[in-house]
A and B are shown apart, each in its own frame.
Chain A
Amino acid sequence: MSGRMPGADEQAAALAARRRRGRNWALLAVLIGLSVLFYAMTLVKLGHRG
């Protein structure tokens, strides 16, 4: 039995959803950043060999 305020579950769910969105955006930014970095590194390495 829970003594929680009415709407507390909804608030917790909304908070969890907001944090999940934040994590997803952060992960997307990291993935894009790494893709750009590896692309640039490849260009540099190929340039040195050329």
Chain B
Amino acid sequence: MRDSTALFAAALTTDRGMGVARSVPAPDGVFADPGAFGQSSAGDWFALLKPRVMSLVVFTGLVGLLLAPGSLNPVLALAAILAIAVGAGAAGAINMWYDRDIDALMRRTAQRPVPAGRIAPEAALGFGVTLSVASVVLMGLATNAVAAFVLALSIAFYVFVYTMWLKRRTPQNIVIGGAAGAFPPVIGWAAVTGSVDLLPVLMFALIFAWTPPHFWSLSLFAHADYARAGVPMLPVVAGARETRRQVMLYTLVLVPLSLLPWALGRAGAIYGASAAVLGGFFLFSAWRVLRDAQDERGVSRTGDAPAKAAFRFSILYLFLIFAALVADRLGGWAG
């Protein structure tokens, strides 16, 4: 259990960078920091939404929407995509509120608006909660209750299951927590059909299996950050050598899984060929991670160059394999 009083005190004593803000606890215990709010720009509030994560979420959600049988009025489709984007961003904002203590300890995240002191923690929480509710309401009004429910479920999963429960407790955090990022194609599909079918479930499984090699590649070269913050990522708990082995194992699960839409007749040859080629590249990058030159403790002698390459490729992979699904449909296979 985290000591919220200590966290609050830490938030109040955080170096606020520009040296002009003065944090004072309000009499009723609510964080009061007029200086911090004065320092925030519109860009800081946008950064709370984790725009880079949001772009992948929006893309996979859009693919789910495009592949679903039937049609959705463009205005309602736009509203559905906006709801997915805002819902994902809102979950990110709540994550930044909850993780502000460990974000401040990690070089990669120390300049985020909350740990850097440009946005007060409670303001970030209020922003995230408001946008979460708004996104679910918007989805319900624009499309249907099923899509709104799955969107609410994905936000709740990311906030309560991943951020608050798993992230600080187990190295399996991103394996189970990866489900949160796998929901968007299901939401997009449900927005059109009002139901869930095999193909969106396969897309869910694809993102779910993709998440461990993606995040563990990142954690291989960012493990010092995670260790400093006490986050039990796999390299911190089990070492780099075991992490490289796990990256390979999950890639071996991912590649056959990515071929299932074609094998089960839910996608055509364009997708099948693309998935095979992309899977081959993914396996090659995971193999390079596994065979990275390392000392007896498993520490990379190459500055984790293969892990950095695998991390970058994993992002490209997800974009391309989902684009292949759309190209396959546009290619006329589905009829």
Contact surface of A with B, Cβ cutoff 8 Å: 12, 16, 19-20, 22-23, 25-26, 37, 40-41, 43-44, 48
Contact = CB atoms under 8 A, between A and B. Distances in A.
Contacts, number: 35
Given A16-B38, A37-B75, A44-B75, 13 more contacts: A12-B18, A19-B38, A19-B39, A19-B40, A22-B41, A22-B42, A23-B42, A26-B45, A37-B82, A41-B75, A41-B76, A41-B79, A41-B142
Contacts of B78: 37
Can you list the 8 inter-chain pairs with the closest CB atoms, starting with the nearest? A26-B42, A16-B38, A19-B41, A40-B75, A22-B42, A44-B73, A23-B42, A44-B75
9 contacts: A12-B20, A16-B38, A16-B39, A23-B41, A23-B45, A37-B78, A41-B75, A41-B76, A41-B141
Interface of B: 18, 20, 38-43, 45, 73, 75-76, 78-79, 82, 141-142
A20 B38 contact: yes
B148 to A, nearest CB: 14
A11 to B, nearest CB: 10
B212 to A, nearest CB: 36
A23 B40 contact: yes
Contacts of A40: 75
